[in-house]
């Protein structure tokens, strides 16, 4: 499971303006609806439902909201770099400025977990996050997100 399997250049939001967690999730649902062809409200409802179970703010300014939809045919991702950090009820109580939304078919099972693990590993890399925070160019963000781990290590 590679990040390129999840996102495309069209699914990167380089400068999301959101004043709250709810607004950020609404904006991400809107972008996801454009990419997947699914209804924005259905996506937003799944994300809110997941947040009620516990925050997807994983710490260090990062959130990985995710959910499963019955009508979805494959895994999709949307990445957003926020213009200004927002409160996200993160586990470390720090505001969030990098969000990677992950949507999966209800039947995804292990693939959903593999994708979550892959995104989590990528965003745990402090140098990657610094670079992501350092640019508001969509193409540069996409390149940073999809660069192979081997080439990052070089």
Find where tokens 């586990």 sit: 91
Find where tokens 């892959």 sit: 118
Q: Where are the beta strands (DSSP E) in the chain?
A: 12-16, 57-59, 62-63, 66-69, 76-86, 96-105
Q: Is 66 a catalytic residue?
A: yes
Q: Please check whether residue 136 is in contact with residue 6, taking contact to mean a CB–CB distance below 8 angstroms.
A: no
Find where tokens 């997941």 sit: 50
Of the listed 31, 66, 81, 118, which one is catalytic? 66
Distance CA 43, CA 47 (A): 6
Q: Which residues are catalytic?
A: 66
């Amino acid at each position: 499971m590679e990040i390129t399997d999840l996102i495309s250049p069209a699914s990167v939001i380089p400068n999301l303006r959101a004043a709250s967690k709810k607004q950020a999730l609404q904006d991400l649902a809107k972008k996801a609806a454009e990419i997947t062809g699914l209804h924005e409200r259905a996506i937003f409802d799944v994300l809110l439902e997941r947040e009620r179970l516990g925050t997807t703010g994983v710490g260090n300014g990062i959130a990985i909201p995710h959910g499963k939809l019955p009508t979805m045919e494959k895994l999709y991702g949307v990445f957003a770099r926020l213009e200004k950090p927002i409160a996200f009820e993160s586990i470390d109580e720090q505001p969030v400025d990098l969000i990677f939304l992950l949507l999966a078919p209800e039947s995804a099972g292990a693939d959903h977990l593999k994708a979550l693990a892959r995104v989590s590993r990528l965003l745990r890399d402090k140098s990657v996050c610094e670079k992501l925070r350092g640019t508001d160019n969509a193409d540069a963000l996409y390149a940073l997100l999809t660069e192979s781990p081997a080439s990052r290590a070089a």
